[in-house]
Each structure stands twice: as structure tokens, then as C-alpha cells.
Amino acid sequence: MLLALATAVTACGSSDDEEEVLEKKEQVTPSPEQDVFEAIDLCNPNTVLSSEAKKALARVKVNISYELLDGVFNFFDDTRLYIRSVKCSGFALRGSMKINNTSSDSPVWKDYDGEQELSFTPIVFHDGRKDGKEGSVAGEQSDEPNQFLNPVLTENYAPVNNGKFSSEKNSGVNGLEQPLFEFCIIASAGDGYYYVIPRHQNKGVDLDVTYCVETIDAEVPGILSDGETQGILVENNLNKSDLLGKDIDFEPGKSYLINIVLGAEGPKIETVGIIRDR
């Protein structure tokens, strides 16, 4: 679109001292429309999500539980399972969305400052505890990044009571389905789902879960992560490539339900459902 601007110029004639008004029209081409980006930080409680932003995000729900063998009772009296870290690819939690994009099915994302392409590097979520000392009195490590694991699933310090874990000890992973993550309230999408910025690049999604099993046992020489209690401590790793299927990625406007089941029969991760429309 060209804008016509009129400029009036007044001049004095030297011969007849008459004024002559000259009008000059010039064509002005404005600068091209600049892209406008909306900064989104799903970990900041002060972030406000617009309806357009919600349409461009994906919703994900991850549950985790432990499957007991038949006939096993009181298993969690002297045994606990705690999540140490989770690594996942396929989404980001901070970025800037182009709000004057014509296609809502293919939102354009840049980094949080709106300058560079958004990098979808795998995110590692930590438990906020010192490695190897997670259950100790001084086990907190507040500088660990991305402490968005459900705190009930991570370890804390609580003294053992008569050879059993006390009620003050976090219950950890047990026979009930529990949400793996607990992001900031801004990321909550309801019903246990949370919003993420989907990669949407037709790549496979990978998930890696590191967890430990701690069992109180006065007959063995090992020490649990509290540094005080005799027992057996085993660290395990559960990983799954192409979580959603080969070359299937998180996409905008879709919801994903993922269940993780740990247990002696063989841990497993499965995608229970992908809801196409919401």
C-alpha cells in the first residue's frame, strides 16, 4: 500500500514580489509489516496465556505408578521408589509466538526474546536433591534446574521408625496413578494436563526416566541415600524412543496421555491416547 503525502512549499518571487504556492506530492512506501511476537513462559506465574496462544500449544498428561506382584502386601513399608530425573524431547516451556501468523495450525515460534529460532533441545527435569545424598538431612540442592517433578515422587529426609519408613517420608511412586510433573499453575490445562510448546517437526519423541529403589534391610552392609540406614539402593533407568510413534511429534491443538508403569514384571511406557481435537 502506498501512502500519498502532500507537502506545501511557499516561495517569494524576486521580480513581481508575488507569492507562489507550490504543491509537491511524493510517494512514500512504508516499511514492511513487522512480525509481532508474544513471549510465553509456561513456568512463570505472571504469564497470561491468550486464547490464540492456547490453540498453538499442546496438552500433555503423564501418569506414573508401580505395579505390584500378586500376593505382595506391605511392600511400601520398607521399600520406596523415587524419581531422580526425567529427560524428554519434543517440547519447550519458553518461547515467543508470532501472533500475526495466518495459519493457526502451523504457529511460528522463536526464542523467548523473539530473535532466534526456538531450539527444541531435550529438557532434563531434576529432583532438586544432591546426587547420592537425596535422602539426607542436607540433601537439598536448590540450584538444580527445572525442578518441576511432582514433589511427592522425589525423596526427602525423614528418620526411619522401627525399621520402617515413617509417615513423614514422601510416599514416592506407589500403586496409585500420580502425575509425574507439577509445573507452575500457568501451565495447567486442567484434569492433570499441562501446556507445552510443541516441536511439530515430524520427529520422534524420546523419554528417559531415572529412578531409584530403596529397601530397608539391617542384614546387608549397604547404606541408603539418607547416609544412616542400612539397606539396598538400586538406581534404574527406563527409556523409550519414538514415544508417540515413529516420526510422530507433539503438535499444536492436540492432547496426549502417557502412562508409565514401573514394577518387577518389567517397567513400561505407553501412549494411551492422542486426542486430535480439543
Between CA 268 and CA 275 the distance in angstroms is: 21
Average pLDDT over residues 215-224: 96
User: Within 13 A of 216's CA, how many CA atoms are on the CB side?
Assistant: 19
Cα-based distances in Å from 21 to 14, 24, 165, 202, 221: 14, 10, 96, 65, 103
C-alpha cell at 264: 518387577
Between CA 145 and CA 268 the distance in angstroms is: 26
Q: What are the pLDDT digits (tens) for 25-40?
A: 344 444 456 788 999 9
pLDDT at 132 over 70: yes
pTM for this predicted structure: 0.84
Q: How confident is the model at residue 18 (pLDDT cuts 50, 70, 90)?
A: very low
Q: How confident is the model at residue 99 (pLDDT cuts 50, 70, 90)?
A: confident
Average pLDDT over residues 144-155: 96
Between CA 232 and CA 221 the distance in angstroms is: 8
- The whole-number pLDDT of residue 70 equals 82
